[in-house]
Amino acid sequence: MKKLFSVLVLGVMCCTILAQETVVDTTKVENLEVVIVKSVRVEADSPITHSNLEKETLEKRNLGQDIPYMLNYLPSVVTTSDAGAGIGYTYIRVRGSDASRVNVTLNGIPFNDAESQGTFWVNLPDFTSSVQNLQLQRGVGTSTNGSGAFGASLNLLTDAVSEEAYGEIANSFGSYSTRKHNVKFSTGMISDKFEIAGRLSTIQSDGYIDRARSDLKSYFLQGAFVDHNTLIKAITFGGREETYQAWNGIDKETLESNRTANFAGSYTDEEGNQQYYNNEVDNYSQDHYQLVWNQRYNNNWSSNVAFNYTYGRGYFEQYKEDEDFDFYDFTPIEIGGDTINTTDLIRRRWLDNNFYALSTNVNYKNNKIDVRAGAFYSKYDGDHFGEVIWARYASAGEIRDRYYFGNGDKSEFTFFTKATWLINDHWSIFGDLQERIVVYKTSGLTSDREPLEIDENFSFFNPKAGVSFKANSKNQLYASYGRASREPRRSDFEQGIFTSEKLDDFELGWRYISEALQVNSNLFYMHYKDQLVLTGAIDDVGAPIRATSGKSYRLGLEIDANIAVSSTIGLRPNLALSSNKNVDFIASRDGELVNLGNTNISFSPRIIAGNTIEYNPFKNFQVALLSKFVGEQYMGNIDSEVSKLDSFFINDLNVNYTLEKVPYVRAIHFSALINNIFNVKYVSNGFFYTFDDDFSDPGTITTVEGVGYYPQATTNFLVGATVKF
């Protein structure tokens, strides 16, 4: 509580002192849209490592693939997809950290699931079409709402208010029967005060992997009121997805013989033939409701208040063979003198959750200092339950009888104060104090019907500081330090892990800006205590399993540039080199605990490189070659050669052309994307597991290793056209 008190007192003192400032601020009033996410974003010259993407850039490749694929060519980013082609369940890793460790906010509101800490973009299909801009902060970044950032923070701002009315119809088609259709509109400013805008989208794809089909629908609706220095937005968006499960992966032999195979839903019929259940699907809906009020009081003072409610519900359905009656509380039955105590059945495992959030902050800014203080509160209430919807032998069971039920209840309080002080034309300093309090309680049973009774409180104090030196108009140096802490997620508690993680992140950077060349480079050292690393294994729903690694670190160099070779040719290369190590890692080998020394952290390639070559031969026409290299990586933490994923180098071709001065419309924008143009057969994700075998040689325990893979698509394409009215 002393730390919390110090954060609040500092914020009050800063705001009180600044209110007495006599310095006249001659800067223009900032765009009120920016106020929405300013509490979780940083400026271009801040001592925080980051990248920005604007709507114009996103539109060029927005043909149906999810948000992670829009970020694929940023530094230190690796993406992957269960279905293999970027539609359906897609994932992102930044600096080797998976999506559950990337803090995501939508208009400043956390998107990460409160219990699993994951981000599921499949629940918001075609969300790219409603994104105005986004910022990816690598490392700890600045204070934000929601779970702490252990690899990166991703902050998205949805569509800005449009002063002019417009309409759009977009359609795209491609490989694997992929198709996307959406309509967008805005009324423009009515009476210079009101705007209504919206979008409806549908995406369907069969997927590269067998039966990995997706049927996705989404919407976005916004009502805005603007009056001088006031902006009020009422926003609702959401989606419904139905995807055939593809999280089982395949073994090495199948990868070589039939890389598109999918064994999800496999069962044996009464004649002994292998069949596939046609509804082995994930079916989930999620709706978000946000009310945002931005107020600019004068050129110095502004505030932001945001309310959020998210309702999520859905299930995944499975056909299960020879299930024991006891597990489902069925009573054995007698048929023809035989006792029946197993059955084939179809079950659904449900999530039904509510998430409430309130975010508020106030900002003071003049020519010398920029201070912001804020608070955030959220409440999550989620039910987990399973039901049987069909059984060959149901005993006395009824349809939709629940065989387990559990609840998770999580509350979070966050308070922060941060400030940037421009000392002179060359030096500025940045400070950031955050107190985060988490209360997590569970009751009932897990899906394995094991009791889960958790009642844990966590209190995290996360200081951050940085300094920037502007040597001249072209060169800037910066250094920063940030602390992040985070609580275990639900699946960690199920495995008996109660220890929180801590990260100290040190960044040292240089930025160069000229008319023809921009370079961003930085060194980073991320030191972890009790980091929950991915073991490589997955659970029965394809979710990764984690374990505490003790001490570990990530040390690396990142460089990205924007080079204007000529008036028609531009290059955007980036390179990330890193060493990612568990220190004195202890693992079970052949029945004994062994210190393996320093080992590589799972899913952390040493080299990640990307490049974009853009050619603009004439107005409104662009051809871009996008290249990505990901070095070899281990899927486990014991440096087993069995667990190694090979490196891969892929290239995509993106073509864009805008036809203007078309009768009855403003413009028609054509785009095409050919992915993996050299037809590389690569794997960007998989799993690795070990178990102790004492059956083959009684009295001797031998560690057995196994792997699985998620193959990615070979050459495929998407083409589309957007008609703008």
Q: Which domains are seen in the chain, by residue range?
A: 2-724 (2.40.170.20)
pLDDT of residue 150: 85
- Pairing relationship of beta strands 574-583 and 599-600 according to DSSP bridges: antiparallel
Contact partners, residue 172, CB within 8 Å, separation at least 6: 63, 64, 178, 179, 180, 181, 671, 718, 719, 720, 721
Nearest 5°: the CA angle 12, 104, 169 is 120
Beta-carbon count within 10 A of 376 CB:
26
Phi, psi of 179 (to 5 degrees): -155, 140
Whether the predicted pLDDT of 588 surpasses 80: yes
Residue in this structure with the two tokens 């490592």, named with its chain if needed: 49
pLDDT of residue 395: 84
Whether the predicted pLDDT of 18 surpasses 60: no
Spatial CA neighbour of 552 closest among 499, 602, 607, 592: 602
Whether the predicted pLDDT of 29 surpasses 60: no
Q: Cα separations (Å) of 5 from 19, 144, 339, 431?
A: 21, 19, 66, 17
Task: Return the minimum-mean-pLDDT range out of 384-398, 560-574, 707-721.
Answer: 384-398
Contact partners, residue 424, CB within 8 Å, separation at least 6: none
pLDDT of residue 146: 77
pLDDT digits (tens, 9 = 90+) for 198-218: 999 999 999 999 999 999 999
| Helices and strands, counts by H and E, the chain | 6, 43
Q: Which amino acid is at 386?
A: G
pLDDT of residue 43: 87
pLDDT of residue 696: 63
pLDDT digits (tens, 9 = 90+) for 144-194: 777 778 889 999 999 999 999 999 999 999 999 999 999 999 999 999 999
pLDDT of residue 203: 98
Nearest 5°: the CA angle 102, 215, 186 is 75
Q: What is the mean pLDDT of residues 487-493?
A: 94
pLDDT digits (tens, 9 = 90+) for 522-540: 999 999 999 999 998 888 7
Whether the predicted pLDDT of 22 surpasses 60: no
pLDDT digits (tens, 9 = 90+) for 91-130: 999 999 998 899 999 999 999 999 999 999 999 999 999 9
Q: Whole-number mean pLDDT of the chain?
A: 92
Q: Cα separations (Å) of 39 from 129, 137, 306, 418?
A: 24, 13, 12, 9
pLDDT of residue 326: 93
Nearest 10 degrees: CA dihedral of 435, 438, 439, 441? -170
pLDDT band at 40 (very low <50, low <70, confident <90, very high): confident
pLDDT digits (tens, 9 = 90+) for 451-470: 999 999 999 999 999 999 99
Whether the predicted pLDDT of 26 surpasses 80: no
Task: Return the minimum-mean-pLDDT range out of 21-30, 349-358, 639-648.
Answer: 21-30
Spatial CA neighbour of 237 closest among 126, 136, 314, 145: 126
pLDDT digits (tens, 9 = 90+) for 503-523: 999 999 999 999 999 999 999
Report the share of the chain in percent with pLDDT over 90.
84
Whether the predicted pLDDT of 697 surpasses 70: no
pLDDT of residue 116: 93
pLDDT digits (tens, 9 = 90+) for 408-422: 999 999 999 999 999
Task: Return the minimum-mean-pLDDT range out of 36-45, 162-171, 350-359.
Answer: 36-45
Residue 142 C-alpha from the chain's centroid: 17
pLDDT of residue 329: 92
**Is 591 strand, coil or helix?**
coil
